Structure 1
Amino acid sequence: MSQLFHVQSLMEITQRPDIVFVRGHGSWLVDEAGKRYLDFVQGWAVNCLGHSPAPVAQAVADQASTLVNPSPAFYNVPSIELALRLTGASCFDQVFFANSGAEANEGAIKLARKYGQKYRNGAYRIITFNHGFHGRTLATMSASGKPGWDTLFAPQVDGFPKAELNDLDSVRALIDDQTVAVMLEPVQGEAGVIPASVEFMQGLRALTAERGLLLIVDEVQTGMGRTGTMFAYQHYGIEPDIMTLGKGIGGGVPLAALLAREEVCVFNHGDQGGTYNGNPLMTAAGVAVFDALASHGFLASVRERADQLRDGLLALSEKWDMEGERGLGLLRALKLKRDEGPAIVERARALAPEGLLLNAPRPNLLRFMPALNVSADEVVLMLDMLDDVVAGLRR
Structure 2
Amino acid sequence: MSKRGRRGAVVIAVVFGLFASLLVASPASADSIRDREYWLSDYGFTAAWNTTRGAGATVAVIDTGVDGSVPDLVGAVTGGTDVSGVGSPNGQTPVGDDNAHGTMVASMLAGRGHGSGAGVIGVAPAANILAVSVGFGVGAVDSDDQIAQAVRWSVDHGADIINMSLTRNTLDWPPSWDAAFLYAMQHNVIVVAAAGNRGSGTTEVGAPATMPGVVVVAGVDRNGKASFDASSQGITLTVSAPSEDLVGAGPGSGYFQWAGTSGATPIVSGLLALIVAAHPGISAGNAINRLTATARPAGDAIVYGSGLIDAAAAVTANVPSVRTNPADDLKEWIRLNRRAEATAQPAPSTTAKPTKVPEAGAAPVSPFGSVLPSIGALRDAGLPLVIYLVFAGLLSLVIRGAVRARRGQTSGRTQGK
Alignment TM-score > 0.5, same fold = no
Larger radius of gyration: 2
Give the alignment's TM-score, normalised by structure 2. 0.27
Q: TM-score, normalised by structure 1?
A: 0.28
Question: Could you say which structure has the greater relative contact order, defined with CA pairs below 8 angstroms and 6 or more residues apart?
Answer: 1
